Structure 1
Amino acid sequence: MDAAKEFARLSGALFVDGGIRPSTATARKAVIDPATGLKLGEIADCTPAEVEEVVARANAAQRTWWAESALHRSEVLHEVARAMRRLKPQLAELLTRETGKPYKESADEVDWSVTATDYYAELGRHSHGQVLGPAVAGQMHYTLKEPMGVVVVILPSNFPLLLFVWEAAAALAAGNAVIVKPSEYASLTTLKFMEAFADLPRGLVQCVTGGGEVGRQLVEHSDTHMVGFTGSVPTGQAIARACAETFKPHLIEASGNDPFIVMPSAPLQIAARAVTFAAFMNCGQVCTSAERIYVHTDIYDQFARLVVAETAKLRIGNGLDKVDVGPMGNAQERDRFERLLAHAVEQGASVAFGGERPEGFSAGFFHEPTVLVDVTPEMDVLHGEVYGPLAPLCRVSSFDEAIELANASPFGLGATVYTTDLVETHRAAREIQSGMVWINAPILDNDAGPFGGRKMSGTGRQLGTEGLDTFRHTKLVMVDPAADPQDFWWFPYSDDEAWNKR
């Protein structure tokens, strides 16, 4: 594949009715390689008429898709997974060029998308409801699982393929159609990804590019029936408010501010490697990154030295080279991160490693992985999503204090604890207020287990059986095959059941 030619082919395009075609929109946005600062292509800010078209086509395709058997949908989704696997080298290269992440992380993202698709291909035909014990003898009471209709998926740029599949595979397995509005910083790779869905019924999966106005039209459209969103809190709140106008179901994954607790019983060398990975994977641009690292005072100094040593080993550079950490996704995010870091230093934190733009990288949006020490609980850096290459270490005096600080956040996505103390393990699982808790196994996902947060981290769940039901209505059906009179509660009421004043 010639990446330049492929980006040129995808520039200014939409994926509509089963194929790539040029948008009629005149508004364009440049796509910049985060590692070089050079233009890769451009995306169209698609027109209202184009949105209307994809919504209409999606509704028609959804009715056809739902009319098929669950077995047929399963077989087709397995074919989609196989297509993803065939496209893996091309997708991984384009994803690295467009978002900056190391090629290994891009390839992993494709692999994870494959397994999630295969998982939902099977889960979607496993159960379409259940038979209930009837409340009246001789009747049949059961539930049916039915699709929402047309699902809108609005995404960020950090995991554009995987986060799409987490929602789209479940939605398709449930019988829905899907329209994706990708991030403006990952649209070209998402358009390429649509090739994996090309053999589905035309219009069942479509991709429209553009900014907030495109997303707003999709969310507010009377013929879209559910919205899945991953991104910032303000945008998530705006989408939830818009959906509330018509009680449109929505799934919101807004932000994370995940704690990472290290206790004296932990194997410190392994815990230091774990923190380094959890803080700097994808240059820290992960919603479940370790962003508040609470370390017991008895091991704090030793652990800080180990984290610095592990961070110093990381190779920085273009994601297509032999590196561990690439650039941040765009200039605006790097500038925001640098302001956050400078403010932390102003408040008294000390840079133990990093803290600057790396030497030899005059182009692109690079920043050194940075370790902060002397961080205290009241500092602003611990109270919002960092979303950048930062590991802030805060000293705690006890496990109780660590739990209290972990919960003292408006967010509740994930949390990691390193300990070999069985009591601390069980307390962490019970007491930490988050959607996921990882004990000695940071930021793992499992297709069969739910992903999602509490508090300001959002509503709803992706993955697992919960993720499938997110995209399904449940209908209760009650049947009396004999059509018997139900005199036990019909008119006329018995005189014997009237109120007796005596």
Structure 2
Amino acid sequence: MTDVTQQMKNISHHIYIDGQLRKSKASDATDVIEPATEAVLGSIAQTTDAEIDDALASCAVAQRKWWRDFSALDRAAAMHEMADKLREMRAMLAEALTREMGKPYKEACDEVDWSIHSLRHSAEMGRNEQGRVMGPAVAGQFHYTLKQPRGTAALIMPFNYPLVLLAWEAGAALATGNAVIVKPSEYTSLTTLLFAEATKSLPDGLFQVVTGGGRVGQHLVEHDNTHVVAFTGSVPVGRAVAAACGERIKPSLIETSGNDPFLIMPSAPLDIAARAAAFSAFMNCGQICVSAERFYVHQDIHDEFVEKLVAETAKLRIGNGLDKVDMGPMVAAKERDRYETLLKGAMGEGARAAIGGSRPAGFNQGWFVEPTVLVDCTPDMSVFHNESFGPVAPICKVRDFDEAMELANASKYGLGANIYTMDLEETIRATEDLEAGMVWVNAPLLDNDAGPFGGSKLSGMGRQLGPEGLETFRETKMIMIDPRCDTQDFWWFPYADDTMHPKAK
């Protein structure tokens, strides 16, 4: 047993309350299974309602008594200390994430790094602007706005990027003066509890982690002592969270599924486009909300592109993320079963696997699948209209740019969209007309802490990152001050006689 696996065992059945790991009083627990080996890493508690209530009471004290009244400078300094601690914990967190979720160690290290960068950016953004002064409606008065925290932010996290998405949302919430309570995915709760140890620079109770399933998330969403909810997950659950928040007039950030298109036009350098396509479809075993899941390739270059993409796919090394690999297993047997059912459905509708399509040989344990390129696809196939969330690249041949754009937009999702082209007119049209919250031209999947992340249609509502991301976690208050305390007879009682209706004179 390694030091990291021992640490994961040690924090089993714990929650993070009042600045420390605490054994949960819950009687129910769920095993945490390593997806590459199927070994039991530990267990997580199904946190009790009473423990959640206590945690939220502690959040309220920490936020109201301390954090809300910290200067923006002091809040930023505490968050930078948190980022420094994450830097120290980088190797440990990356190994824990690889063991618990399955992604390659390199990708796990990247995720820790991105978390650090995002926290630092949010810390400084919180210092940057907390309102604005406007020209007064009445001469001599002072009119301005204040940006104030909402209170306690409940964050319900996914398994695919449990650290960086937590850093995005918790960073924005903390930088704007809120407390944070986190409900991680049941697949990545132990890594999240380890992450919590980096928050020692914050007031006790300001950052809390409660583990468990849907009941725990529902209690947080419906609780009177949570004041904003951020959810990342499936469409059905996202709808339920949004409805529950709407019923309570509680602000929410909802990020659900994606089914992102990837267009390849004749002007694109095909060697680069093929490498980009393989990365976009197979990174993190395809378990990314912005994975490229629908490929529309111009007929003039279709065959050559498929040949190159198949060659790139064949190079991928599959295995335990702690070895020299490019792609690890899927996160759970349940997820692999779901993905394989989708893949089988596509082939039943006429798609053919140019490469892949099954489980890799030589693996007697673990939830591994082959990266797959599907050809002979038509745009009406179910795989083009549902999120695959697995390593598959279905390719549809198109006549021209216009058909590619039409098919790209014929989706109930609108998270991201990709295009490879060197044609300036196609570039401008794609950026303006693709129905998505983000468009990548020759630069797939990139994020930028300074710019917004989010989608449209069934992909969700609201934005993370950038100035827009801060607004999720704060509200704007309008202030008007008359320093002279003058009378305002231009509209106060009694109304002047000459303003009355002519019949009244």
**Alignment gaps of 5+ in structure 2:** none
CA deviation after TM superposition for structure 1 residue 470, in Å: 1.2
What is the one-letter code of the residue matched to 2:55? V
SS at match of 2:375: strand
- The residue that corresponds to 1:82 in the other structure is 84
CA deviation after TM superposition for structure 1 residue 489, in Å: 1.5
- The residue that corresponds to 2:426 in the other structure is 424
- The residue that corresponds to 2:142 in the other structure is 140
What is the one-letter code of the residue matched to 2:36? A
SS at match of 1:124: helix
SS at match of 1:85: helix
- Structure 2 counterparts to residues 42-441 of structure 1, below 5 A: 42-63=43-64, 64-441=66-443
What is the one-letter code of the residue matched to 2:37? T
SS at match of 2:393: strand
What is the one-letter code of the residue matched to 1:38? A
**Alignment gaps of 5+ in structure 1:** none
For 1:90 and 1:389, how far apart are their aligned partners in 2?
A: 27
- The residue that corresponds to 1:445 in the other structure is 447
CA deviation after TM superposition for structure 1 residue 472, in Å: 0.6
- The residue that corresponds to 1:23 in the other structure is 24
For 2:472 and 2:52, how far apart are their aligned partners in 1?
A: 24
For 1:74 and 1:342, how far apart are their aligned partners in 2?
A: 50
What is the one-letter code of the residue matched to 1:205? F
Contact 2:79 2:201 in 1 (8 A): no
CA deviation after TM superposition for structure 1 residue 252, in Å: 0.3
SS at match of 1:168: helix
For 2:11 and 2:298, how far apart are their aligned partners in 1?
A: 51
What is the one-letter code of the residue matched to 1:410? K
For 1:272 and 1:68, how far apart are their aligned partners in 2?
A: 50
Give the TM-score normalised by the residue count of structure 1.
0.99
**Aligned pairs, how many?**
502
For 2:60 and 2:331, how far apart are their aligned partners in 1?
A: 34
- The residue that corresponds to 1:465 in the other structure is 467
For 1:240 and 1:154, how far apart are their aligned partners in 2?
A: 12
What is the one-letter code of the residue matched to 1:22? K
Give the TM-score normalised by the residue count of structure 2.
0.98
CA deviation after TM superposition for structure 1 residue 492, in Å: 2.1
For each residue in 1:313-368, what CA deviation from the matched residue of structure 2 results, as whole angstroms up to 9, or x when unmatched? 00000000000000000001100111100110110111100001000111010000
- The residue that corresponds to 1:10 in the other structure is 11
- The residue that corresponds to 1:32 in the other structure is 33
For 1:499 and 1:387, how far apart are their aligned partners in 2?
A: 68
What is the one-letter code of the residue matched to 1:23? S
For each residue in 1:234-253, what CA deviation from the matched residue of structure 2 results, as whole angstroms up to 9, or x when unmatched? 11111111111210000000
CA deviation after TM superposition for structure 1 residue 499, in Å: 3.2
Identical positions, percent: 61
What is the one-letter code of the residue matched to 1:368? E
For 2:353 and 2:500, how far apart are their aligned partners in 1?
A: 80
For 2:322 and 2:447, how far apart are their aligned partners in 1?
A: 25
CA deviation after TM superposition for structure 1 residue 10, in Å: 1.1
For 1:379 and 1:495, how far apart are their aligned partners in 2?
A: 74
CA deviation after TM superposition for structure 1 residue 127, in Å: 1.1
What is the one-letter code of the residue matched to 1:315? R
CA deviation after TM superposition for structure 1 residue 198, in Å: 1.9
When the two chains are superposed, the root-mean-square deviation of aligned CA atoms in Å is 1.0
Contact 2:286 2:392 in 1 (8 A): yes
